[in-house]
Amino acid sequence: MNVVEKINLILKKANISKVNLAKYLGVSRQMVYNYLDSTDLSKLPNEKCQLLFELLNVKSADEILALEINKEYLQTVGSRIFDSAKEEEKKEKTCIDLTGLKKEEIELINDITLMSKNVLLENKGREGEALATVTYLHHFIENLNAIKELKYILAYFSKNYGYTDPNKFAFDENNQFVFESIMFSAMTLYSNGGASRTRLAESHKKWENMLASKKEEKLSRTQELNTAKIQALRELGYTKIDERNASEVLDKIAEIMAQKF
């Protein structure tokens, strides 16, 4: 058995996928396959080789060959991968990587973050309302790329409060023009008190029914995903999704779903 075969054996017995190893080494999954497509570790850069040695608790390739693979050792290796993944996840949650953005883009993101923070801090007497406001903002931003009308809403209020020229159109000019005109009519009706709850009850009910229909459709989609998840776990030989196999299982789910549509 050569050193690469020994490493693959350890990874298999420790239930460490190539995806997990790739994240630990800070490379793509394909790079891991390239690194281990040999009989030795000559393809690994020195930095990655040292990381691999740390994972396996050795100082050289010869020590890998001499390793005794037992339950305790496999648990130790698995824990290192798990702890590394948790630490990386923690960093992702506490830090925003702004690499690649221009100075003005970074300043804009910082301003939005600070404003969101201030909404929460300055409404201490109405914590529920403040949290709901920022939560709705989050939902709004999350769907910006999927629903073009959300961008038109932003443009309308930017123009309405004097930040942007009303004749400037950053998006599809025709659609944006029509949407802004409808928004103006609706806001005028609302501001003038011409739209009472009683008059709009039927319209609101129709909207509720439409949302209920969408929710039912979403639940159906969720059931399909659950079925695909069960199939993916079975085919990969896992019993559940955890930090160690999440990426691999999700890739498999995507593959299964693609075959159905």
Judge contact between 229 and 212, C-beta under 8 A: no
Query: Mean pLDDT of all residues in the chain?
Result: 86
Q: Which pLDDT value is given to residue 200?
A: 85
Looking at the chain, the whole-number percentage of residues with pLDDT higher than 90 is: 28
φ/ψ of residue 122, rounded to 5? -85, 0
Q: State the amino acid at position 146 in one-letter form.
A: A
Buried b (16+ CB within 10 A) or exposed e, 155-182: bbeebeeeebeeeebeeeeeebeebbee
Q: Which pLDDT value is given to residue 178?
A: 96
Angle (deg, nearest 10), helices 18-25 and 46-56: 120
Q: Which pLDDT value is given to residue 97?
A: 74
Structure confidence at residue 3 as a pLDDT band (50, 70, 90)? very high
Length of the chain, in residues: 261
Q: State the amino acid at position 66 in one-letter form.
A: A
| Residue 261 pLDDT > 70 | no
Buried b (16+ CB within 10 A) or exposed e, 81-100: bbebbeeeeeeeeeeeeeee
SS (H, E, C) the chain: CCHHHHHHHHHHHCCCCHHHHHHHHCCCHHHHHHHCCCCCCCCCCHHHHHHHHHHHCCCCHHHHHHCCCCHHHHHHHHHHHHHHHHHHHHHHHHCCCCCCCCHHHHHHHHHHHHHHHHHHHCCHHHHHHHHHHHHHHHHHHHCCCCCHHHHHHHHHHHHHCCCCCCCCCCCCHHHHHHHHHHHHHHHHHHHCCCCCHHHHHHHHHHHHHHHHHHHHHHHHHHHHHHHHHHHHHHHHCCCCCCCCCHHHHHHHHHHHHHHHC
Q: Calculate the CA 188 to chain-centre distance.
A: 39
Structure confidence at residue 169 as a pLDDT band (50, 70, 90)? very high
Judge contact between 253 and 221, C-beta under 8 A: no
Looking at the chain, the whole-number percentage of residues with pLDDT higher than 70 is: 93
**What is the average per-residue pLDDT within 5-16?**
90
pTM: 0.49
Maximum distance among all Cα pairs of the chain, rounded to whole angstroms: 83
CA dihedral 206, 211, 216, 218 (to 10 degrees): 150
Question: CA nearest 34: which of 18, 10, 47, 50?
Answer: 18
What confidence tens digit (pLDDT) does each residue in 45-79 have?
888 899 999 999 999 999 999 998 999 989 988 88
| Residue 167 pLDDT > 80 | yes
What confidence tens digit (pLDDT) does each residue in 194-210 have?
778 887 888 889 888 88
Measure the CA–CA gap between 133 and 121, rounded to whole angstroms: 12
Structure confidence at residue 89 as a pLDDT band (50, 70, 90)? low
Q: Which pLDDT value is given to residue 115?
A: 83
What confidence tens digit (pLDDT) does each residue in 206-244 have?
888 888 888 887 777 788 888 888 888 988 888 888 888
Structure confidence at residue 95 as a pLDDT band (50, 70, 90)? low
Structure confidence at residue 124 as a pLDDT band (50, 70, 90)? low
Go through the domains of the chain in sequence order and give each one's CATH number: 3-94 (1.10.260), 98-142 (no CATH)
